[in-house]
Structures are given as C-alpha cells and as structure tokens.
C-alpha cells in the first residue's frame, strides 16, 4: 500500500480525459495492481477499463514489434500490437505495464512517444490516441532498499534512495517524462488486518447466509502473511498466494468451503 508520505503523494487527474503517467515502485504484493483496478473503476466506472500487459514478454529485441504491431510484409502484420490495439479498442482506460524494468531497451522508445506526445503510431501507420488514458508502470526495483528503510519516518529520504536505484536502470528522459513516481511500503499488521476485513466482508455478501464462521480473521491473516526476519511484507510475500487463491483460503478458513 502507498506509504504515509506527506500529502499529496500523487495527484489523480480531476477528469478522465487528462492524460497522465505513473511509475509504481515497491515489493510484490503491496497493492500496486489493486490500486490500478481501483483507478479504473473510479475513473471509468469499471475494472474492465484496466488493460494489463506483462512487460517481461518483451525482453528480446525482436519482440518489440508486438507492442505496436509488425510493419507491412512482416509476420503478424494483421494481428496488431498488444498496446496499440488495446487502446484503439478502449481509448478510455488505465494501462498497466507490469514489471516494466524487464522490457528490452527499445520498448522505451515506444513508451516515450506515449509519455511525451500522448499518441503512438502503430505498425499500420495509424495514430493511436493515449490522451484519455492513465498509464501506470510497475517495478520491483529498489525493493530490498524499501524493506531495509521501511521503518524510516522520512518518506522522501527513502524515496530518494529508491530513485537512485531506478535512475541507474531507466533512461533520464523516461524518468522525466513521468508525471509522478510513487514508492510503496511493505504491508504492516494494520494494513493486512484491514485488507482481510474487506475481503471477509466481500465474501460474506457473496456466499449463502449462515456459512460464516466467526474468528479473529485479521490476526490469523497477520500471522499467515507477515514475513519473518528474511523480509517479504506483501499479500504475495512469504506465502506467495495469488489474490484468487487468497480468497479460496478465506472461504475454507472462515466459511467452511472445501
């Protein structure tokens, strides 16, 4: 979850038409993707407006064309690009580029067009308009530093240390093209309790009445997920349980479903 940084941590555009871009830095399982889902629902009234692209699929130079579509005469020309087609079909959306640090360097030439101009020319020569999107890129860069400095009261000092790591990986023009960079703290006991309570409340509305077995679910979740001395700190930390399986665990533990 975002840290208790001095306000404002970042500014959400007042209307969906305001093009903006963010880099979310933090360990796995601290809520980066969940925040993007919430943004999509808040800005565009549905989580379906979230477009997710795994940037680890673009680690090789010859795969970069998949982002915008192959040029005429090349294999895949008729298929269009992952990024360009997604926005062409849903121009009002939140674009989530996960693990952007794993992408091949040429991918950032494509992203710079989006960040600087708010548009992109695809493999068919068509201009794709990104001015009605919010682009969010996530990265685990600096996660070890975040773990080590998460107890620091000075958020800006921690962010500066993490940004130094990010600056060694990303080109300056890419960093400068972003509207804001947000550093996420690992989840603590109170955050895990709160998230568990929200999920339990959600499940209680979905399952038949009388199935809920009361218990200290918040405390159980803290003991199950809170990392030991080796680190972690996310709902996919030590246990590495995806969100869907996390719900299954809750159903079994507190609702009696096998």
Domain boundaries, the chain: 20-183, 189-255
Residue, of 211 and 186, whose pLDDT is higher: 186
Please state which architecture CATH assigns to domain 20-183. Answer: 3-Layer(aba) Sandwich (3.40)
Nearest to 122 by CA among 88, 98, 92: 88
CA distances from 252 to 59, 235, 256 (A): 39, 17, 5
The answer to whether the predicted template modeling score (pTM) of the entire model surpasses 0.75 is yes
Residue 76 per-residue DSSP state? T
Cα–Cα distance measured from residue 145 to residue 237, given in angstroms and rounded to the nearest whole number: 16
Cα–Cα distance measured from residue 152 to residue 138, given in angstroms and rounded to the nearest whole number: 22
User: Looking at the DSSP assignment, which residues form a beta bridge with residue 97?
Assistant: 53, 137
| Least-confidence region, from 30-39, 98-107, 152-161 | 152-161
Dump pLDDT digits (tens) for 125-174: 899 999 999 999 999 999 888 888 876 567 788 888 999 999 999 999 99
Helix axes 217-225, 243-255, angle to 10 degrees: 140
């Amino acid at each position: 979850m975002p840290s208790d940084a001095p306000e404002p941590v970042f500014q959400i555009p007042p209307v969906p038409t305001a093009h903006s871009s963010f880099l979310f830095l933090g360990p796995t399982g601290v809520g980066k993707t969940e925040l993007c889902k919430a943004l999509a629902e808040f800005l565009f009234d549905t989580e379906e407006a979230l477009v997710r692209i795994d940037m680890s699929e673009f680690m090789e130079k010859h795969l970069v064309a998949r982002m915008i579509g192959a040029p005429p005469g090349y294999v895949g020309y008729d298929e269009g690009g992952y990024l360009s087609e997604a926005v062409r079909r849903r121009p009002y959306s939140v674009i989530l580029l996960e693990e952007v640090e794993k992408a091949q360097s040429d991918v950032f030439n494509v992203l710079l067009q989006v960040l600087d101009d708010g548009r992109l020319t695809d493999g068919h020569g068509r201009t794709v308009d990104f001015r009605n999107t919010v682009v969010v890129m996530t990265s685990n860069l600096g996660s070890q530093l975040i773990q080590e400095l998460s107890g620091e009261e000075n958020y800006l000092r921690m962010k500066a240390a993490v940004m130094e790591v990010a600056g060694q990986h990303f080109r300056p023009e890419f960093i400068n093209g972003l509207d804001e960079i947000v550093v996420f703290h690992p989840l603590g006991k109170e955050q895990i309790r709160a998230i568990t309570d929200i999920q339990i409340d959600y499940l209680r509305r979905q399952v038949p009445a009388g199935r809920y077995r009361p218990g200290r679910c918040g405390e159980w979740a803290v003991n199950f997920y809170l990392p030991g001395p080796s680190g972690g700190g996310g709902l996919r930390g030590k246990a590495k349980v995806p969100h869907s399986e996390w719900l299954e665990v809750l159903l079994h533990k507190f609702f009696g479903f096998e």
